[in-house]
Amino acid sequence: MITDVALIEKSLKNSYSYSEYRAHVSQLLLDGLSTGATQSEALTHYTTLNEVRMNRLDKTVKLPEDIKNRLANLKKEHTLLIISEGWCGDAAQILPVINKLAEATDKLDVQIVLRDDNPELMDEYLTNGARSIPKLVLLDDEQNARASWGPRPQGGAQLIREYKEKFGTIPPEAKTELQKWYLQDKGHSTMEEITLLLENVG
């Protein structure tokens, strides 16, 4: 990772804690708005759906004992800097899980930035040239970027890849199947992949 430390620091000054992010998105919805530079009924609709998903996941996501033990053994402190938007369906499935990981240890701090408000940071972490979110940037205790992850766990990414290869695009049924995949997975892939990322960074 070669992301400029000044860019990371600038982004962190523009970030929200998980609870602040949830409150910000909820307040915008009360005004009929969504996060991001573009406003539309569709994006507000997606954001409303995501609020329901995140409320459910906040209550239902449980960390397995194995994950809890591995998090307890982390030696160093890290910041999980996440690029997101309130209308993003993947983010709604992933952010509550990452927050549960952070709640399980004093070694992790979650900070969330909005993609459209932080284009320079987003452009450092493109996925196949696209501004796909959510994207997690793993920072060490000196705010150096050490690794990144996202926009979705490997199983979900594979599902979308297969639809793209078959149809040349992502049809509506692919998004439905992806949401089913998240429901069945119960956040376990996200937990495992991010915990492994933390262990590999050391």
Asked if 95 and 55 touch (Cβ cutoff 8 Å), the reply is: no
What gap in Å lies between CA 195 and CA 188, rounded to an integer?
10
Parse the chain into domains and list their residue ranges: 5-201
143-165 confidence digits (pLDDT tens): 999 999 999 999 999 999 999 89
Close Cβ partners of 193 (under 8 Å, ≥ 6 residues apart): 149, 153, 154
Query: Sheet holding 78-84: strands in order across?
Result: 108-114, 78-84, 135-139, 145-149
Q: What is the pLDDT of residue 32?
A: 95
Q: What is the pLDDT of residue 202?
A: 74
22-52 confidence digits (pLDDT tens): 999 999 999 999 999 999 999 999 999 999 9
Find where tokens 């952010």 sit. 95
Pick the CATH number of 5-201 from 3.40.30.10, 1.10.510.10, 3.90.1300.10, 3.40.50.12240: 3.40.30.10
What gap in Å lies between CA 113 and CA 50, rounded to an integer?
17
Ranges of residues in the chain whose predicted pLDDT is under 50: none
Q: Does the global pTM surpass 0.75?
A: yes
Asked if 179 and 88 touch (Cβ cutoff 8 Å), the reply is: no
What gap in Å lies between CA 63 and CA 40, rounded to an integer?
36
Count of other CB atoms within 10 angstroms of residue 91: 27
What gap in Å lies between CA 77 and CA 41, rounded to an integer?
40
Q: What is the pLDDT of residue 170?
A: 86
Q: What is the pLDDT of residue 2?
A: 56
What gap in Å lies between CA 179 and CA 156, rounded to an integer?
9
Residues in the chain: 202
Distance of alpha carbon 86 from its chain centroid, rounded? 11
- Using CA atoms in the order 191, 183, 33, 123, what is the torsion angle rounded to 10 degrees? 40
Q: What is the pLDDT of residue 4?
A: 84
